Amino acid sequence: MDNVTHTLFALTLARTRLGRGGRGTTAALVLASNAPDIDIVATLGGAANYLAWHRGPTHGPLGVVGLGMVTAALVWGGRTFMRSSTRDAPFGTLVTVSMIGVLLHILMDLPTSYGTRLLSPFSWRWYAIDLLPIIDIYLLAALAAGLMVGRRSVQAGSKWAAIVFVLMAVNYGGRAIAHHEALRLTEKLVGATMPPACDQQATRSLVDSWPPIVPSPNAGGPCTLDTAATPTFLSPFQWRVIRRLPEAYWVYDVDTLDRRATWSERSDAPGLMVANQWTPAVLEAARTHTAQVFLGFSRFPDAAASIDPGRITTVTFTDLRFAVVDPNRDIRRPAPFTLTVKLGPEHEILQERLGP
């Protein structure tokens, strides 16, 4: 979730009992609700370094405790330079409030399609529920409106904070229903033409996790390694469904308000099959440090390679969760989450670069 949303949510929390523990609680909530993203300092080591550490330990158990303590200490110390007649919040209260702020930041990141590493540094696996895009304009609007309308008095602030929490619950709940419907509708439309899931139990999990554990060979033939429905930016009813097969991806943009039941009733194409061939050149590119970082982050890494007349091979890895895919032609446009590796005639590494 973006930092504007985290900040507005913290200010909304400050209008509840959490913000009435004394002077400093509001500041603690705001700072703590943004503290996990202090990992942005990793960008000093380059884009790959940031991707390696973002939503890592600062978003795990140690982050909740450590950042909560640091935030409380900063607010406690900062109050000594500011005089006020308001009763100071005890240090213990600041610690509790700060830890709650950090924890809620992490829990707000979990339902996004980007995901978070909940257990780092003890485990570097990613977890996500795939309900919201990284920036949810509806959540932003509800938080901003509630703060604006409720600024007239303490009572109005508390009342509108409660209303905003109800609206948030409706937003999350509605998206959960739409997410389930997108997967159900897709299975109804094309399930019979797709390979079955390699692990039926994993596909029923509420929380998705990756990198995947490689399944044992399916004696009955190829199987679907992973399936996800990721949200779009504008509409909570439009989803991108991705099915990962051994050597390809099946990608389809589904609208849960479209009630046409069969492909014969639909005018659009039944999704797009995107080849994912791991040639020797792709495997060589995947061994680079930047590729290892990217592949550890990417849930659906799509690999494509091309060779120019000078025998320079360009390998592109794209995370299909965030790629722009033309449904009529197999075109994967450069996206922020793209890695390009150039190899020479003898597969020597010439360049590795994150970004479009």
Find all residues with CB under 8 Å of 176, minimum gap 6, and list them: 131
Find all residues with CB under 8 Å of 240, minimum gap 6, and list them: 229, 230, 232, 251, 252, 253, 254, 321
**More confident call, 263 vs 199:** 199
Residue 325 to residues 19, 242, 263, 300: CA-CA distances in angstroms? 45, 12, 21, 13
State the residue for tokens 């390694």.
225
What mean pLDDT is predicted for residues 36-55? 94
User: b/e map of 244-270 (b: 16 or more CB within 10 Å)?
Assistant: bbeebbbbbebbbeeeeeeeeeeeeee
Assign 195 a pLDDT band (cuts: 50, 70, 90). confident
List pLDDT tens digits, range 198-221. 766 555 678 899 987 654 444 456
Domain boundaries defined on the chain: 3-116+133-175, 181-273, 280-354
List pLDDT tens digits, range 96-151. 999 999 999 999 999 999 999 999 999 999 999 999 999 999 999 999 999 999 98
Nearest to 240 by CA among 255, 225, 226: 255
Q: Which pLDDT value is given to residue 216?
A: 47
Residues pairing with 342 in the sheet = 314, 351
Least confident of 23-27, 135-139, 216-220, 316-320: 216-220
Assign 261 a pLDDT band (cuts: 50, 70, 90). very low
Mean pLDDT of the residues in the chain: 87
DSSP per position, 236-287: TTEEEEEEEETTEEEEEEEETT----SGGG-SS-S-EEEE----HHHHHHHT
Cβ 254 vs Cβ 11: under 8 Å = no
* pLDDT surpasses 60 at 328: no
Token pair of 344 as six digits: 């020479």
List pLDDT tens digits, range 157-186. 999 999 999 999 999 999 999 999 999 888
Element (H, E) at 353: strand 349-354
Helix (H, G, I), strand (E, B) or coil at 121: coil
Q: How far apart are CA 79 and CA 98, in angstroms?
A: 15
Q: Which pLDDT value is given to residue 219?
A: 45
